[in-house]
Structure 1
Amino acid sequence: NEPILFRGGRRYTTTRGYAFSLQYAGPFEGSPPPPFLAAIDACDYRNCGSARQALEHQLQPDTMLRELNKARAGFGIRVHPGVGPALGASADRPASVATGNWGCGAFLGNREVKFLLQWLGGAVCD
């Protein structure tokens, strides 16, 4: 249940497509990234068989708890001014969280389930 933190990363390229159709689309020209970026991995449901079986697996309590804890870990990172990221009440929480359909593309996650888990994960971070 650990996020990966990136600090001072830069974006160099633009892409198009997704997963197996991902392609280079030229150099990136835009705003710099935020000072810290947290990444959290999602469960992979491609080997569950059907979409129904994948949904049934996602609704298992242990699976939902894993995803909820992962979202909380990623969204709850606090930043010590001038020092860096940390988990703890003495640091400042980032002003915002940006996310999307976490694990719902190539990993076949259910958008509604993932939305609720991300919402709940963010709600318990205060």
Structure 2
Amino acid sequence: MPCSPQYVMSNGKPMWPIIQQSLVRLQQLSAARSVTYRDLESPPLLRIGSNRSLTMSQLQAASLLACAFFCLFPYRSDQAQSKEYENFPNPNFNRLYKSGSPAKIEKLKCILHYFRRITEKTPNGVISFRRYKLPDDSHPQWLNSRQVLCNLHLTTGKKIEDIDCVLQGGGVLGSGCVQEEIRFSICPEMLVSLLVCEMMKPDECIFLIGCERYSSYKGYANNFEFDNDYRDDTPKDNWGRKWCHLVAMDAIYFRNPSIQYDMKYINRELIKAYTCFRLRKVATIHQTLFGIATGNWGCGAFNGDKQLKDED
């Protein structure tokens, strides 16, 4: 628990009140009648079919995560989901507090460590969430393409966390604890996307830009464990965002793996990958473009064929 010796800060103060601070601040402003409309305004939602971005400070993200920690977002819990939000994930942490997999406790350790870090030193960076829909007139004509495939570099023995669920975050606030859930646990600012991003369609993707990593870990799935602090020294862009662009791109779950070789499903995965990696106006460092790093996207629990996905 946050009140245990393990969750006491270096100055001797317990962590439990730390998560409450941003909520108490709003209460104080309301009591003093100095709160403004913008203090209470909810962040804009990135809905299906839209091309728009949402940028906020890391401190604003922390306030939203404090609300999620105390399950304060209305109409978003599994039991009270309104039709307006039926295609949004539940951002409240209520499922994480229920009994179940030991990995839930380890994910909570990551989140509590995040609150400790941002309280010991207030972050001054910025994060962005961008939803992108491929224009209807930009769908590629694969049969007419003469584009040469780029080189692939395969690496073994290293870890990378992919996102392949139609609702970003997957089971991070439940019992899930594989690639996507691990990434959201060690980079808790990504959890804000559960609040603002609707589920993805086949020609859509979501960019999570600048989210900082706070925890190191060991193990995987039921053996996942919070390990220690992690200092993210990734440089920042001119906006103050970490140079880390993570793309949420959902793969098809194949209950019957043999059907993935049908052209209907191959075309769907091709469109998804093209939507995510299509060359657009992008920010660069030293006038160079970033490469793309991925694990076995859509394989593993989704039963995808690794060789087929490489060709996609």
Q: Percent identical across equivalent pairs?
A: 32
Whether contact under 8 Å (1:58, 1:64) holds in the other structure is yes
2:275 matched residue in structure 1: 73
Q: Is residue 106 of structure 1 aligned with residue 301 of structure 2?
A: yes
Whether contact under 8 Å (1:11, 1:28) holds in the other structure is yes
Query: Over aligned residues, Cα RMSD in angstroms?
Result: 2.6
1:124 matched residue in structure 2: none
- Distance, in Å, in 2 between the alignment partners of 1:70 and 1:103 is 12
2:266 aligned residue (64, 68, 77): 64
2:292 aligned residue (68, 84, 97): 97
1:2 matched residue in structure 2: 204
2:243 matched residue in structure 1: 34
- Distance, in Å, in 2 between the alignment partners of 1:104 and 1:73 is 19
Please state whether the residue corresponding to 1:25 is helix, strand or coil: strand
1:85 matched residue in structure 2: none
**Which amino acid in the other structure matches residue 211 of structure 2?**
G
- Distance, in Å, in 2 between the alignment partners of 1:116 and 1:69 is 13
Please state whether the residue corresponding to 1:113 is helix, strand or coil: helix
Task: Could you tell me which runs of 5 or more consecutive residues in structure 1 were left unpaired when the two chains were aligned.
Answer: 49-53, 83-91, 118-126
- Distance, in Å, in 1 between the alignment partners of 2:205 and 2:247 is 6
1:23 matched residue in structure 2: 225
Please state whether the residue corresponding to 2:300 is helix, strand or coil: coil
Please state whether the residue corresponding to 1:26 is helix, strand or coil: strand
Higher relative contact order (CA 8 A, sep 6+): 1
- Distance, in Å, in 2 between the alignment partners of 1:39 and 1:12 is 20
**What is the TM-score when the length of structure 1 is the normalising length?**
0.65
Deviation at 1:28, TM superposition (A): 2.0
**Which amino acid in the other structure matches residue 115 of structure 1?**
D
Pair member with larger Rg: 2
**Which amino acid in the other structure matches residue 14 of structure 1?**
S
Please state whether the residue corresponding to 1:115 is helix, strand or coil: helix
Deviation at 1:77, TM superposition (A): 5.2
Deviation at 1:95, TM superposition (A): 2.9
1:42-97 C-alpha deviation (Å, 9 max, x unpaired): 1112x32xxxxx0x211011111110011111111534549xxxxxxxxx994311
Higher strand share: 1
**What is the TM-score when the length of structure 2 is the normalising length?**
0.29
- Distance, in Å, in 1 between the alignment partners of 2:225 and 2:279 is 32
Q: Structure 2 vs 1, CA of residues 99 and 77 (structure 1 numbering), >3 Å: closer, same or farther?
A: same
**Which amino acid in the other structure matches residue 34 of structure 1?**
W
**Which amino acid in the other structure matches residue 310 of structure 2?**
F
Task: Could you tell me which runs of 5 or more consecutive residues in structure 2 were left unpaired when the two chains were aligned.
Answer: 1-202, 235-241
- Distance, in Å, in 2 between the alignment partners of 1:20 and 1:57 is 29
Whether contact under 8 Å (2:216, 2:230) holds in the other structure is yes
1:28-48 C-alpha deviation (Å, 9 max, x unpaired): 234425342222111112x32
Q: Structure 2 vs 1, CA of residues 77 and 18 (structure 1 numbering), >3 Å: closer, same or farther?
A: farther
Q: Is residue 115 of structure 1 aligned with residue 285 of structure 2?
A: no
